[in-house]
Amino acid sequence: YGDASQKVDYVFKVVLIGDSAVGKSQILSRFARNEFSLDSKATIGVEFQTRTLVIQHKSVKAQIWDTAGQERYRAVTSAYYRGAVGAMLVYDITKRPTFDHIPRWLDELRAHADKNIVIILIGNKTDLGDQRAVPTEDAKEFAQKEGLFFLETSALEATNVEEAFLTVLTEIFNIVN
Ligand code: GDP
Ligand code: MG
């Protein structure tokens, strides 16, 4: 019976992508440290954060990479995608263009990442439901067509953030086992 803080059975690299200001850094902050900041500055410096969790009695270290303000078209380099086994494709449910850009991000991802990468589409900021610009059904339909997992989250209210990471990590775990 191993101590999860000592022994690591797996390290899974997961990348966060999507337009600027959709909440990628806050989703990561919520997952890695259970923190949220309403006036978060554009990400600089830190490349990834980790959290170790137990899946089916194995210790899994999730290494989550965050774009350091490289969200401009094609600015995310192939090094960012290298070795990634999971991806979280994030848009903001209150900003239609961030959803309309998802196919472009998906193309980028498929061009650079491993073809078996596990992908989840995430509609963030559900706490701003009165400003919703992307119907849940539109995203669900797109995800289904493209073979992606899909969840709506709120990093602010900590809704579905844990579930989103667990969905990706458990699927990766099942693929390698
Ligand atoms: P990034 O550029 O994709 O990394 O976006 P950030 O994580 O920096 O978030 C951009 C802005 O949206 C910040 O002001 C965050 O506080 C805010 N934000 C992030 N997630 C949420 C959320 O779930 N709900 C609300 N209301 N605001 C959020
Ligand atoms: Mg950021």
* Residue among 26, 64, 70, 99 to mutate when testing ligand 1 (max atoms within 8 A of CB): 26
Which ligand is closest to the CA of 17, given by its number?
A: 1
Query: Do 164 and 122 meet the contact criterion of CB atoms below 8 Å apart?
Result: yes
Distance 158 CA to ligand 1 centre (A): 12
Q: Which atom of ligand 1 is nearest to the CA of 36?
A: 16
Q: Which atom of ligand 1 is nearest to the CA of 29?
A: 7
**119-158, pLDDT tens digit by residue?**
999 999 999 999 999 999 999 999 999 999 999 999 999 9
Q: Which atom of ligand 1 is nearest to the CA of 18?
A: 3
Q: Where does the pLDDT of residue 3 fall: very low under 50, low under 70, confident under 90, or very high at 90 and above? A: low
**13-59, pLDDT tens digit by residue?**
999 999 999 999 999 999 999 999 887 766 565 589 999 999 999 99
- ipTM score of the complex? 0.99
pTM greater than the 0.80 cutoff? yes
What the block records as the tokens of 6 is 């000592």
Distance 138 CA to ligand 1 centre (A): 22
What the block records as the tokens of 112 is 């650079």
Label the pairing between strands 58-66 and 48-55. Answer: antiparallel
Rg over CA atoms, the chain: 15
Query: Do 63 and 12 meet the contact criterion of CB atoms below 8 Å apart?
Result: yes
Residue 66 vs residues 17, 29, 47, 48, 132: alpha-carbon distances, Å: 7, 10, 6, 6, 25
* Residue among 40, 99, 105 to mutate when testing ligand 1 (max atoms within 8 A of CB): 40
Give the residue whose CA is nearest to atom 6 of ligand 1: 23
Distance 114 CA to ligand 1 centre (A): 28
Query: Do 120 and 1 meet the contact criterion of CB atoms below 8 Å apart?
Result: no
